[in-house]
């Protein structure tokens, strides 16, 4: 009989290692489901005068892209964008186009600047969100005007400030995604 000295010796942050493994369904589905939920959530808020809520679906997509580079294939932007278009109020196709472009551009940026830290990530996510919001506004079919641009400035600021929180949430979801819950007999 061997005696266990340390109870956590056979565990890591994903749980016990003995006799357990990841759930493949959970590992594959959590990122997609979380982005889709984040796309659908802002519809529940009534914003009568100006866009108010950060584009949560897009933010989640970028955060997953940063936390787990390579999890989302480059074409996932088109799929998730189509779902986002059903809820966002934008003309259908705008998120398919912009999210696909984002995935390609981030892929390129990552190849160009392979070593990154928190601040670079925040800069990249902030720039991507700001450009995305301006592009989405210009593709929304609204009559262009200075008031419209001014109206989305608070939304841009809020989106940039929300990034650290969102990326923590995604890191938490990643722990949940890879938790060892499946028992091997």
Partner 1 sequence: MAPISSRRSGHSRRAQYSLFTGYALAAFGVLLGAALLAVSLLNPSAFSGPRMAASDAVAPAGAGAARTRAASSGVLDEITAYWRAGSQNAALRREAELARIRLGEAKALEQENRELRALLGLGEAGGRTVAVARLVGSSSTSGRRFAYLDAGARSGVAAGMPVRSAQGVIGRVLEVGNRSARVMLLSDSESVLPVKRAGDELVAFAEGRGDGKLRIRLLNLGINPLKEGDLFVTSGAGGYFRPGIAAAILEEVTPDGGVARIVADPAAATAVMVEAIWIAEAVEASRSSPDKGFAPEGDSE
Pairwise CA distance, residues 87 & 41, whole Å: 9
Question: Is the alpha carbon torsion for 175, 80, 139, 143 positive or negative?
Answer: negative
HSE-CB of 174 using CA atoms within 13 angstroms: 16
Question: Looking at the DSSP assignment, which residues form a beta bridge with residue 182?
Answer: 21
Tokens of 170: 């995604």
x-or-dash string of contact with partner 1, 89-128, rule CB under 8 A:
xxxxxxxxxxxxx-xx--x--xx--xxx------------
Q: Which of 44, 132, 31 is nearest to 90 (CA)?
A: 132
Taking CB under 8 A as the rule, which mask of x and - marks residues 134-173 in contact with partner 1?
--xx-xxxxx-x-xx-xxx--x------------------
Closest C-alpha among 176, 131, 165 to residue 60? 165
Query: What x/- string results for residues 5 through 44 when contact with partner 1 is judged by CB under 8 A?
Result: -----------------------------------x-xxx
Selected binder of partner 1 within 1, 70, 119, 183 (CB under 8 A): 70
Q: Rule CB under 8 A: which residues touch partner 1?
A: 40, 42-56, 69-70, 73-75, 77-78, 81, 85-101, 103-104, 107, 110-111, 114-116, 136-137, 139-143, 145, 147-148, 150-152, 155
């Amino acid at each position: 009989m061997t005696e266990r000295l340390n109870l956590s010796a056979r565990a890591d942050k994903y749980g016990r290692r003995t006799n357990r493994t990841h759930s493949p369904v959970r590992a594959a589905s959590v990122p997609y489901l979380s982005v889709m939920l984040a796309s659908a959530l802002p519809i529940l808020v009534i914003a009568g005068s100006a866009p108010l809520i950060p584009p949560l679906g897009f933010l989640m997509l970028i955060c997953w892209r940063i936390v787990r580079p390579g999890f989302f294939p480059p074409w996932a932007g088109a799929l998730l964008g189509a779902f986002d278009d059903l809820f966002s109020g934008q003309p259908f196709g705008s998120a398919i186009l912009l999210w696909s472009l984002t995935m390609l551009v981030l892929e390129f940026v990552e190849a160009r600047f392979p070593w990154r830290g928190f601040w670079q990530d925040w800069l990249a996510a902030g720039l991507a969100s700001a450009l995305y919001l301006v592009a989405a506004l210009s593709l929304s079919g609204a009559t262009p005007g200075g008031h419209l641009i001014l109206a989305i400035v608070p939304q841009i600021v809020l989106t940039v400030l929300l990034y650290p929180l969102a990326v923590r949430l995604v890191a938490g979801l990643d722990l949940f995604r890879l938790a060892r819950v499946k028992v091997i007999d």
